[in-house]
């Protein structure tokens, strides 16, 4: 028999529904920025279950830092003003430029990791946005479960023994032996106690099974955008919000409040804020060849509704990724698929971009007008979970560096997508965080890498780490001569 134990309140907190990340199956946060005069690369590995512990890794580009402290803060609201005591990050004994720390994240929603640096150039700080979500239900480890089961049996046996001794000897004088009737009463009491305790254990096991099933139902559900291709080649999108507990499980939400558990505000669809100029960033990738790639910006037509007149996309089966950001700085990506017939369409305009026939390479991508984009990579293999600066250089037919232009407020954009479409990350020169969240966190643009306008030397870089081994496509977009260019690269990631 399995005996399972849990604290009711802890379970109910874990059972809260969670909202999706700004990426798909790529939860780690990478941020390249400045804490005052100090250039840092910060990696945050969020917990898969909230409450949980986030792992923080910080690398300083120089050797002038004496101490780094980290602390968690809510992004908005009263809790954003109530800072806990900061934890001192531990310097690596083998790499003095690397620091690590751990932070408890107690509730879901928009958080930021506040980084305080003290060094030879004075003090500095930056904030790294962190969306906190639960993506699974944790199970008890087998050794711990076995230990608790044994201790539970010992506890039951001890209780039965105490009841038997009490009914047999409680009324006796010291040194007096129990009579036959008292012994019989003791046996009866022990038998009744054994049946009652077995009933209690069976009831607890049944109750926990029900709660575990409820927990599984309340885990995060990936939002599925509903696309429809209407007349005039207009793509209509209806966003979904499957994780609103107040709508999906109103009785459960009411029960939690009665027990004193705070039910977080629902993530709505009427609170979207622009992220580098657009409410929604739509990525369309034809599968499985991934040769047709498009980055579009539909207009909002209603709450959770968007529409866009498509350009001339080739026919095929397309994977959809729709990026949005809420007013709390909480980002999410909604996914879907659609079969497009191809044909004529609207010419690209504004920030919209795409290429109908891309050939992914491992080193050099050909662009228009004889230009090319070069992935400046070394010979080391790409390892899952390892942060890397992905550096790209754009040069003209003469081999000289191209003059790049500002593209939606930054030097470039990149999309990292697994070849099966199950992993997606929209990354900027400052990292994998949304720019709207960075603004809400209080950082300034001059504190972020690649955010002071495009570099004049034709180079752009992105900090990122692949979450899993496998094969990926990297789509890199920059702006040159008033035209948005897209380079496609193939990457193989090892374990």
The answer, yes or no, to whether residue 43 has pLDDT greater than 90, is yes
> Average pLDDT for residues 244-273, to the nearest whole number?
66
The answer, yes or no, to whether residue 214 has pLDDT greater than 90, is no
Burial, 63: exposed, middle or buried (Cβ in 10 Å; 0-12, 13-18, 19+)? exposed
Confidence of residue 241 (pLDDT cuts 50, 70, 90): confident
Rounded to whole angstroms, what are the CA distances from 95 to 37, 42, 63, 124? 20, 15, 10, 21
pTM of the model: 0.81
Spatial distance between the Cα atoms of 297 and 280, rounded to a whole number of angstroms: 6
Spatial distance between the Cα atoms of 358 and 362, rounded to a whole number of angstroms: 13
> Average pLDDT for residues 293-297, to the nearest whole number?
98
> Average pLDDT for residues 107-115, to the nearest whole number?
89
**pLDDT score of 456:** 61
Mean confidence (pLDDT) of the chain:
86
Provide the sign of the torsion angle of the four alpha carbons 241, 244, 246, 250, taken in this order.
positive
Convert the pLDDT of each residue in 380-411 to its tens digit: 999 999 999 999 999 999 999 999 999 998 99
Rounded to whole angstroms, what are the CA distances from 399 to 169, 291, 373? 98, 26, 11
* CA angle (272 as vertex; 270, 274 as ends), nearest 5: 150
Domains and CATH numbers, the chain: 29-132 (2.60.40.10), 137-218 (no CATH), 226-494 (2.60.40.10)
Q: Closest Cα partner for 335 from 26, 15, 109, 30? A: 26
Phi, psi of 254 (to 5 degrees): -65, -40
**pLDDT score of 19:** 37
Convert the pLDDT of each residue in 184-198 to its tens digit: 888 888 898 899 989
Q: Reading across the β-sheet that carries 109-119, which strands appear in turn?
A: 87-88, 65-74, 109-119, 122-132
Q: Closest Cα partner for 232 from 153, 149, 319, 344? A: 344
How is residue 231 written in tokens?
């007349």
Rounded to whole angstroms, what are the CA distances from 31 to 28, 45, 206, 432, 455? 10, 12, 46, 7, 19
Spatial distance between the Cα atoms of 89 and 125, rounded to a whole number of angstroms: 14
Spatial distance between the Cα atoms of 23 and 323, rounded to a whole number of angstroms: 8
Convert the pLDDT of each residue in 323-372 to its tens digit: 999 999 989 999 999 999 988 899 999 999 999 999 999 999 999 999 99
> Average pLDDT for residues 28-54, to the nearest whole number?
92
* Preceding peptide of 69 cis, ω within 30°: no
Convert the pLDDT of each residue in 156-179 to its tens digit: 899 988 988 888 888 888 878 888
Spatial distance between the Cα atoms of 309 and 274, rounded to a whole number of angstroms: 20
**pLDDT score of 133:** 77
CB 451 within 8 A of CB 443: no
Convert the pLDDT of each residue in 130-142 to its tens digit: 998 777 767 778 8
The answer, yes or no, to whether residue 7 has pLDDT greater than 50, is no
Among 142-151, 271-280, 360-369, the range scoring the smallest mean pLDDT is 142-151
Provide the sign of the torsion angle of the four alpha carbons 100, 104, 109, 111, taken in this order.
negative
The answer, yes or no, to whether residue 441 has pLDDT greater than 50, is yes
**pLDDT score of 289:** 97
CB 238 within 8 A of CB 300: no
**pLDDT score of 18:** 36
β-pairing verdict for 382-383 and 483-494: parallel
**pLDDT score of 59:** 95
**pLDDT score of 113:** 96
**pLDDT score of 16:** 34
User: Residue 52 forms beta bridges with which residues?
Assistant: 105
Rg of the chain over all Cα atoms, to the nearest angstrom: 29
| Residue that is written with structure tokens 């709450």 in the block | 303
Convert the pLDDT of each residue in 78-98 to its tens digit: 888 888 889 999 999 999 999
**pLDDT score of 464:** 96
Compute the half-sphere exposure of residue 239: CA atoms within 13 Å on the CB side of its CA: 31
The answer, yes or no, to whether residue 250 has pLDDT greater than 80, is no
**pLDDT score of 256:** 58
Phi, psi of 185 (to 5 degrees): -60, -40
Contacts of 271 (CB under 8 A, 6+ apart): 326, 327, 328
Q: Closest Cα partner for 403 from 371, 441, 438? A: 371
């Amino acid at each position: 028999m399995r005996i399972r134990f849990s604290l009711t309140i802890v379970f109910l907190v874990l059972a809260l529904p969670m909202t999706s990340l700004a990426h798909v199956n790529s939860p780690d946060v990478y941020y390249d920025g400045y804490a005052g005069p100090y250039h840092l690369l910060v990696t945050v590995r969020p917990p898969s279950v909230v409450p949980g512990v986030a792992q923080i890794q910080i690398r300083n580009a120089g050797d002038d830092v004496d101490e780094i402290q980290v602390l968690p803060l809510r992004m908005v609201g009263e809790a954003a003003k109530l800072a806990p005591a900061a934890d001192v990050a531990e310097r690596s004994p083998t790499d003095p430029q690397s620091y690590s720390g751990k932070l408890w994240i107690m509730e879901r929603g928009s958080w930021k990791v506040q980084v305080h640096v003290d060094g030879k150039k004075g003090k500095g700080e930056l904030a790294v946005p962190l969306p906190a979500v639960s993506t699974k239900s944790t199970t008890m480890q087998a050794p711990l479960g076995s230990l608790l089961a044994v201790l539970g049996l010992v506890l039951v046996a001890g209780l039965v023994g105490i009841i038997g001794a009490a009914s047999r000897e409680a009324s006796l004088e010291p040194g007096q032996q129990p009579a036959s009737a008292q012994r019989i009463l003791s046996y009866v009491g022990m038998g009744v106690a054994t049946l009652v305790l077995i009933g209690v254990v069976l009831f607890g096991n049944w109750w926990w099974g029900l709660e575990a099933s409820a927990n599984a139902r309340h885990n995060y559900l990936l939002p599925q955008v509903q696309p429809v291709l209407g007349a005039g080649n207009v793509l209509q999108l209806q966003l979904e919000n499957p994780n609103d507990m107040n709508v999906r499980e109103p009785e459960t939400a009411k029960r939690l409040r009665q027990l004193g558990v705070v039910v977080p505000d629902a993530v709505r669809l009427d609170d979207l804020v622009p992220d580098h100029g657009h409410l929604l960033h739509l990525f369309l990738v034809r599968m499985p060849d991934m040769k047709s790639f498009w980055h579009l910006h539909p207009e909002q037509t209603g709450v959770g509704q968007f529409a866009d007149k498509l350009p001339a996309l080739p026919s095929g089966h397309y994977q959809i990724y729709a990026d949005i950001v809420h007013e709390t700085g909480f980002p999410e990506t909604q996914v879907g698929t659609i079969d497009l017939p191809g044909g004529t369409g609207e010419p690209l305009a504004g920030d919209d971009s795409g290429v109908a026939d891309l050939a992914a390479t491992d080193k050099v991508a050909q662009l228009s007008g004889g230009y090319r984009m070069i992935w400046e990579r070394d010979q080391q293999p790409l390892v899952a979970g390892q942060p890397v600066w992905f550096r790209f250089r754009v040069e003209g037919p003469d081999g000289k560096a191209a003059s790049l232009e500002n593209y939606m407020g930054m030097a470039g954009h990149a999309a990292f997508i697994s070849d099966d479409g199950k992993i997606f990350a929209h990354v900027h020169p400052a990292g994998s965080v949304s720019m709207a969240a960075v603004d809400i966190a209080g950082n300034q643009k001059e504190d972020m890498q690649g955010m002071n306008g495009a570099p004049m030397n034709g180079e752009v870089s992105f900090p990122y780490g692949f979450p899993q081994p496998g094969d990926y496509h990297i789509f890199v977009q920059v702006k040159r001569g008033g035209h948005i260019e897209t380079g496609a690269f193939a990457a193989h990631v090892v374990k």
